[in-house]
A and B are shown apart, each in its own frame.
Chain A
């Protein structure tokens, strides 16, 4: 049948679906056409509800404008970071759902840096060469951190790579004792951010900062989370770190709201 004129909309500043100004501007990952987040999400639900070709909902959607196959919606773009909504992954069994602990870590990246600096002294960590003591939790911590940031489950390769770079930067110390702690720290930050940047993009610098905080704390993951969360004044992500609400009343708390968390609430039709 005839389909000659491509679906038209010459205006750049309005959403092609609601014809209004963009609300939560979002992009499809391949063709980068722009829509309101809710508009494109509603369209995807309609399309995947039809079951035209395959019984399980397709994990891709054709762009309403150009018919290109797309696999995720990029949204929440703020200049440095963005969030990603994978199409219909919440309906599949094998998809990776962020745990509460993952969410708390991801939310930390949306807060001001420095809220636990007075407890965990990073500079002291380098001065006293605490890195010579092995940290048994680092690898597990790295895995969760990278899973939260990339929103991917299988991050083994990235963890292995970054962990390797971290270890190398420590063992390199043995040869050159003379180095200033500041110099040492600078080198560490350089090599880790170089290793992490291809995977973490604009969040790399904060990530390198957070690694140092964790290392400087010398705590295991549960204890570290408990301190961090208490300081932020959020409710606990885990089961064993109940923070009394009364302690938090007079502290102003801002919990960053992330759109990806919406997935859970409307997972069922």
Chain B
């Protein structure tokens, strides 16, 4: 518990220090609980998520960094590896391939990379995965873009 707290505090200071280092990621720690974080990430360009801002919720276990943080999308997203209802993310580094050298910041970067490179063969969102697996890239992109507009962009007017 002490070790995870100390490490999270170091990450917190690092985030404060390099706020501008990665403009695509904005990590914020809960005011009262250092084990709860939220992140705002920008949808990568040249993807259907471009222009959207997606909110992630981090729940950090007490044995962190020996155990991975739990991360899910709070913003609705149409992506093969994200559960449409719960926002759960299927990403190896959050499960079996976790390494204690990852940080919350680098996990965000990995999630941005996942948004740009979906893995339709291990889908949590079968509709999205099936569109890609059947080769309907246009169909996938337009669906994903629609949900980006609906959920991840500021409402117009």
- Choose one: B65, B109, B122; the contact of A1 (CB below 8 Å): B122
* Chain B facing A: main interface SS: loop
Which B residues have a C-beta under 8 Å from some C-beta of A?
Answer: 3, 6-7, 10-11, 14, 63, 65-67, 81, 90-93, 96-97, 99-103, 105-106, 109-110, 113-114, 117, 119, 122
- Chain A residues whose CB sits within 8 angstroms of the CB of B92 once the complex forms: 1-3
Q: For B114, what are the chain A residues with a Cβ–Cβ distance below 8 Å?
A: 1-2
Cβ 8 A contact of A19, one of B10, B63, B90, B91: B10
Contact flag A18-B6 (CB < 8 Å), given A2-B119, A8-B103: yes
14 A-B pairs whose Cβ atoms sit less than 8 Å apart in the complex = A1-B114, A1-B119, A2-B91, A2-B110, A2-B113, A3-B93, A3-B110, A4-B113, A7-B102, A9-B103, A16-B101, A42-B66, A65-B99, A65-B101
Within 8 A of B (CB), among A1-60: 1-5, 7-9, 16-20, 39, 42-43, 46, 52
In the complex, residue of chain A having the shortest beta-carbon distance to the beta carbon of B90: A1
Contact B109 A5, beta carbon cutoff 8 Å: yes
Q: Are B11 and A19 interface neighbours, CB within 8 A?
A: yes
A17–B90 touching, CB < 8 Å: no
Q: Which residues of A contact B (CB under 8 A)?
A: 1-5, 7-9, 16-20, 39, 42-43, 46, 52, 64-65, 67
Rounded to whole angstroms, the CA-CA distance of A65 and B99 in the bound complex is: 8
The reply to whether B119 and A43 contact each other, CB–CB distance below 8 Å, is no
Residues of B within 8 A of A4 (CB): 110, 113, 117
User: Is A3's CB under 8 angstroms from B97's CB?
Assistant: yes
